[in-house]
């Protein structure tokens, strides 16, 4: 069998990274998460997703894994593995409440949260260096509106059955 021929020229229609908002969101998010993971792990023994879970539990003691998954926008399987890791490190614990597993910080988890928090807040502040207060408020408003559009984004009308071409063969 002959291998497929490579396409050696750019396609006619492509995404222009300079004007494609999701590209910048990904760049900023990846730099934030991976940079945070490096810093937090080196100094506190946790990663950015770990801290996101600790932060959620600091605000919502007794919540469930599904709540954390929704709150931090991580897949349930990732949250489950992270929860087990945090439990093994004795940073969280859980209690069975009927069929529900309620999650809590331990005193060690609260200490790690409290140690990471100022660094996380400083990093967030540094990310917005050079922004005026008005620009910060406007950015927050835009991000919140984008967040509210997630359900629409994840179910685009162009993929609705009525919008898809039918195979009449």
Domains for the chain: give ranges and CATH numbers.
22-150 (1.10.10.10)
96 contacts: CB under 8 Å, gap ≥ 6? 102
* Backbone φ and ψ of 141, nearest 5°: -65, -45
Count CB neighbours of 116 within 10 A.
22
**pLDDT tens digits for range 75-104:** 999 999 999 999 999 999 999 989 999 999
**pLDDT tens digits for range 4-57:** 999 999 999 999 988 999 999 999 999 999 999 999 999 999 999 999 999 999
Average of pLDDT values for 104-117?
98
């Amino acid at each position: 069998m002959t291998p497929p021929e490579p396409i050696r020229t750019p396609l006619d229609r492509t995404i222009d990274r300079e004007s494609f908002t999701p590209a910048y969101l990904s760049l900023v998010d990846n730099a934030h998460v991976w940079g945070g993971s490096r810093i937090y792990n080196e100094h506190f023994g946790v990663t950015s997703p770990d801290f996101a879970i600790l932060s959620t539990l600091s605000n919502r003691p007794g919540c469930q894994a599904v709540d954390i998954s929704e709150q931090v926008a991580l897949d349930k399987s990732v949250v489950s593995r992270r929860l087990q890791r945090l439990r093994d490190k004795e940073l969280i614990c859980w209690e069975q409440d009927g069929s529900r597993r309620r999650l809590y910080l331990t005193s060690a988890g609260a200490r790690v949260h409290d140690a990471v928090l100022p660094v996380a807040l400083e990093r967030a502040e540094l990310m917005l260096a050079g922004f005026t207060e008005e620009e910060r408020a406007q950015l927050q408003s835009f991000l919140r509106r984008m967040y509210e559009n997630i359900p629409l984004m994840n179910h685009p009308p162009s993929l609705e059955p009525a919008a898809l071409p039918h195979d009449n063969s």
